[in-house]
Amino acid sequence: MGRNELALTPPGHGRLWLLGALFLVTLPHLLRMPPWLSISCLLIFGWRLLHEVRGYDLPGRWLRYLIVFIGIAAVGAAYRTLLGPDAGVALLTVMLCLKLLELRTLRDAMIALFIGYFMVVGGFLFSQSIAMGGYLFLVVLALTATLIALNHPAGRLADYRLYLSTGGKLLLQSLPLMLLMFLLFPRLSNPLWSVPEQGPSARTGLSDTIEMGSISNLVQSQAVAFRVDFDGNVPAADALYWRGPVLWHTDGRRWERMQMPIQREPPAFEVLGEEVAYTVTLEPHRRRWIFALDLPLNRPRAANTAFYFLPDFQLLSEREVKEKLRYAMRSATAYRLDTLSPAMHAAATALPGIANPRTRRLAQQWLEEGITPAEIVQRGYRLFREQPFYYTRQPPQLGDDPVDEFLFSTRRGFCEHYASAFVTLMRAAGLPARIVAGYQGGEFNELGDYLIVRQSNAHAWAEVWLQEQGWLRVDPTTAVPASRVESSVDAARFQSTSSLDDGAGFAALRKLYRQFRYGWDALNHSWNQWVLGFDRQKQLELLRKLGLHTASWGWLAGIMVGLVMAVVALIALLTLFRRPPRRDPVARLYQRFCDKLAKAGLPRQLDEGPTDFAARVSAARPELASAVQRISQLYIRLRYTRHGGTQDIESLRRLVREFKAQI
């Protein structure tokens, strides 16, 4: 394409195609940007559309400069930076929209189109779901169809089927190359979408602190925290405690983790039952901890990531989990944990100042009765069962002594209320105790045969140290009878691994909805494992199965380049030796007509159209003018319009056959 061609004005139908394709490209980003910034971009799209449809003037040069300056400043003000995925993609989106205000030549249109291709990659920075993948594939199809429309000056908007079918064929032809590059391209240690996010947009699940009311906010989310594939049967619901951060320090309201040395192997403990083997697919939560069934027996392994234990059985990754993480685990659901150092004992019995005095007096009263530590634990558990405590997601606000107010006044709360109050009560009685945050239960997907653990399964429970038994898990929340649980969904969390119940009425509809939801989740789970989870380790396993045991970066790149060249050569050979397409009968008849005139000394020039050729022949040979005009007009109608049929083709054949006698 030469310079003069690039300076041409793109065809009107091509500009409309470009406008539509770029809108599809930017739509996911517009939904993520601040509303006022998205509305500004939509107004620019509207301005350009009015220019194409109604002929409205585009802004002049100086006004465009001013708008560009305002656009950059607006992105900087919205994100407080121009760096990072959020701000960077927003800036690129705004600049692409502004490009529409100066788009006049074919060169401008091609630049905007290629920026659109580049922005397709930006969509995967924020979501790698199968839905996003399918949407962006359609966007690529629209962009490719636009590329064809821009280079088809004689086309029309009504020719959309031609553009889409041609674009679809091009994409299908690229599939073998795409598959080769997916399987053989050397895997990076950190994928593109794991770059750090700036500002408050980073996603988080559980926090490393707990304050009364924090988990109840998280539990309202139905987002998936992780999925679990068990090697055997799924354990009972009351054994599904997924261990996360362990909280030791408190100021009377807020609980925090304790700094501990990391270690490569789990602390020693006694396994009392059978081991459970499973594989976790963890969603990114931008924290270092990972989750395992209580208690983990092994340090997991994953590509490009190292894991560590803390002495309280927290599992930590060496880096924040910014991408889906898949790891295999073994755990014990029945155990004896009897490790307690002096430092841990001191941390697990500490209480701040004089906070929550009524709780302290209650614990002191129990001690004065001379009951054993095990009886104190049972007394605390029965307190929540026998007294009118309620389990609710909307507890009342608490004052300066939150545990006292919860135990003796409001008696309404969520799991962090019960865990905080129970641990405070145990410490006031001199028993070491701590809070464990994590998830409880899960939802079994029978279509995919795996467990779904959602953010709504977030939970907090207690661990108490007893001299004869070691660390004992106590979940005071389960002491509350189902009759005093406000939400039926919350009541079901501790009774079943499925949060859906057909119940009475609309059973068939609910079952259909459940099957659809589980099917879609199973499809996403497979996508996560075999597409997003195709890391270097799986790549090496695939190559070993193919008998290829050497897998250096250079070696992989060489194989990939060689295979890509082989595929391209095969396509070239097929193109070279394929049977030439059958010519159009109308074009064949007209060529026969031109050949007859050429033999008569009137050859058609290469740059001469049928109308100009007919006029020249008529001027040179007036006696042939009538026949030449009839043949030319019939050919033009058959070739360049949608009129004409089989009878007209037969008429053209007859006229060309008879024309020889007239020369």
Distance CA 607, CA 610 (A): 10
Coil/strand/helix, residue 311: coil
Residue 460 pairs with which residues in a beta bridge?
437
Residue 458: CB atoms within 10 A of its CB come to 27
Position 98, amino acid? L
Residue pair 497/451 in contact (Cβ under 8 Å)? The answer is yes
Distance CA 40, CA 25 (A): 16
Q: Which of 401, 404, 475, 521 is flagged as catalytic?
A: 475
Residue pair 468/476 in contact (Cβ under 8 Å)? The answer is no
Distance CA 112, CA 100 (A): 8
Kindly provide the residue ranges of all beta strands, DSSP E only, lying in 171-260, ordered along the sequence: 209-211, 224-230, 241-247, 249-250, 254-256
Q: Which of 41, 97, 415, 594 is flagged as catalytic?
A: 415
DSSP state of 197: P
- H or E stretch including 658? helix 646-662
Tell me phi and psi for residue 67, to 5 degrees. -65, -40
Q: Any catalytic annotation for residue 400?
A: no
Give the DSSP per-residue string, 354-420.
T-SHHHHHHHHHHHHTT--HHHHHHHHHHHHHHTT-EE-SSPPP--SSHHHHIIIII-EE-HHHHHH
Q: Any catalytic annotation for residue 415?
A: yes
Residue 307: CB atoms within 10 A of its CB come to 21
Q: Which of 459, 521, 525, 594 is flagged as catalytic?
A: 459
Residue pair 272/219 in contact (Cβ under 8 Å)? The answer is no
Residue 443: CB atoms within 10 A of its CB come to 24
Residue pair 288/257 in contact (Cβ under 8 Å)? The answer is no
Q: Any catalytic annotation for residue 594?
A: no
Residue pair 388/411 in contact (Cβ under 8 Å)? The answer is yes
Residue pair 501/492 in contact (Cβ under 8 Å)? The answer is yes
Residue 563, judged by CB atoms within 10 A of its CB (0-12, 13-18, 19+), counts as: middle
- Residues serving a catalytic function are 415, 459, 475
